[in-house]
Amino acid sequence: MVTAEQVWAAIGKLPDPELPVVSLAELGVVRAVEVEAGRVHVELAPTFLGCPALDAMRSALEEAIAGLGGEPDVEVLLDDAWTTERITPAGREKLRAAGVAPPGRRLLELDSTAFRCPYCDSSSTRLENLFGPTACRSIRYCETCRQPFEQFKTL
């Protein structure tokens, strides 16, 4: 019989489809796991409702649960807004190591010097483009090391 601990361990190994350096657990999109008589109910709070990776996340969760011998029941929460505060410290560090500046801990102005370069840690950065490769990222430029980098938007 599958346990909640086994499910959480499996979720910790599932990469986010758009940012595979972090797991779904580290991203904080899985809100709850309940196991009852082999049925595994997982609550998934997407980063935003129009997230193009939502179906891929749901499918990955269902496959992982089935692989553990459980009956998957993945519920997409429409009333639980995900925020960047839910990214774990380990997830933030993995983003930084991959060259994606993690989001700030609170809402900041877009041209704020609080956005640090993930390569040299300089706060001398500027917004290049509000629109990055996904809706949750923008493009910034470091004046110190002269590297462009992605900034995970603070939500």
Q: Sorting pLDDT into bands at 50, 70 and 90, what band is 107?
A: low
59-91 b/e (C-beta count within 10 Å ≥ 16 → b): ebbbebbeebebebebebeeeeebebebbeeeb
Q: pLDDT for 43-93, tens place per residue? A: 999 888 778 889 999 999 999 999 999 999 999 998 877 888 899 999 999
Q: Which CATH architecture has domain 4-76?
A: 2-Layer Sandwich (3.30)
Domain boundaries, the chain: 4-76, 100-152
Q: pLDDT for 13-41, tens place per residue? A: 999 998 999 999 999 999 999 999 999 99
Determine the Cα–Cα distance for residues 129 and 140; give it in Å rounded to an integer: 7
The model's pTM is 0.77
